[in-house]
């Protein structure tokens, strides 16, 4: 890709070197981005090795950030002294090396990692909930039965009808008068 003059750089161009490899284990052809070379000021170049930028040859590769910066996973590693002076970031990067038809990308192989912050927080929350559940089950299993002592139990009588209530109260009054 040639850009011409950009700010104080003359004749800026970017070259992507791709390779295509057949892997017996998957039985498929895979393409990979080997390196990115920046040519500027007609004779200087900065080379970045690309790591983990690959996809099946029948697919495209898509990533939100392909960068030499560590905050974006650092997929591009400077391989020359001149490249160390540069930081390069491609935003909303999509590439397809082979089998392009009708000028459109094939379905993409994304660069997302397995443990994103959202998935990691979900796992931590699940672990905390499991620990609380295990503690609650432990407490339920170790509950002790209350032993009833029938000798200490006091009989309480609740009359059901007004006649019984009057009879109950008369007996109580008579008992008090006897004492």
Q: Is 55 helix (H, G, I), strand (E, B) or coil?
A: strand
Kindly state whether residue 140 falls inside one of the protein's structural domains.
no
Kindly state whether residue 91 falls inside one of the protein's structural domains.
yes
CA distance 127 to 147: 37
Q: The pTM is what?
A: 0.56
Residue 74's region, left for phi above 0, alpha for psi from -120 to 50, else beta, is left
Kindly state whether residue 44 falls inside one of the protein's structural domains.
yes
Kindly state whether residue 65 falls inside one of the protein's structural domains.
yes
To the nearest whole number, what is the mean pLDDT of the chain? 80
Kindly state whether residue 89 falls inside one of the protein's structural domains.
yes
- Strand pairing class (60-67; 28-40): unpaired
Domain count, the chain: 1
pLDDT band at 121 (very low <50, low <70, confident <90, very high): very high
Kindly state whether residue 95 falls inside one of the protein's structural domains.
yes
Whole-number pLDDT of residue 106: 84
Is pLDDT of 77 > 70? yes
List, for residues 125-178, the tens digit of each pLDDT value: 999 999 999 999 999 888 877 666 655 666 666 656 666 556 665 655 555 555
Whole-number pLDDT of residue 98: 78
Kindly state whether residue 36 falls inside one of the protein's structural domains.
yes
Kindly state whether residue 166 falls inside one of the protein's structural domains.
no
Whole-number pLDDT of residue 171: 53
Query: Averaged over 7-32, what is the pLDDT?
Result: 85
SS3 percent helix, strand, coil of the chain, rounded to 5, is 30, 35, 35
- Which has more pLDDT, 126 or 6? 126
Domain with 15 in it: 2-111
The set of residues, in sequence order, having a beta carbon less than 8 Å from that of 32 and lying 6+ positions away, is: 18, 19, 21, 50, 53, 54
Query: Averaged over 37-57, what is the pLDDT?
Result: 84
CA distance 73 to 76: 9
Whole-number pLDDT of residue 4: 72
Query: Averaged over 71-88, what is the pLDDT?
Result: 85
Least confident of 34-38, 77-81, 107-111: 107-111
């Amino acid at each position: 890709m040639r850009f011409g003059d950009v700010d104080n750089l003359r004749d800026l161009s970017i070259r992507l070197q791709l390779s295509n490899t057949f892997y017996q284990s998957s039985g498929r052809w895979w393409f990979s981005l080997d390196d990115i070379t920046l040519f500027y000021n007609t004779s200087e170049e900065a080379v970045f090795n690309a790591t983990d930028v690959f996809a099946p040859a029948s697919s495209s590769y898509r990533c939100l950030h392909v960068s030499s910066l560590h905050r974006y996973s650092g997929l591009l590693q400077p391989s020359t002294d001149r490249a160390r002076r540069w930081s390069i970031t491609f935003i909303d990067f999509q590439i397809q090396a082979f089998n392009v038809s009708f000028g459109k990308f094939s379905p993409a192989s994304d660069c997302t990692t397995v443990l994103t912050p959202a998935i990691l927080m979900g796992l931590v929350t699940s672990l905390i909930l499991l620990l609380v559940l295990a503690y609650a089950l432990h407490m339920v299993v170790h509950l002790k039965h209350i032993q009833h002592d029938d000798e200490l139990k006091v009989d309480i009588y609740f009359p059901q009808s007004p006649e019984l209530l009057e009879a109950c109260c008369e007996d109580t009054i008579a008992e008090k008068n006897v004492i």
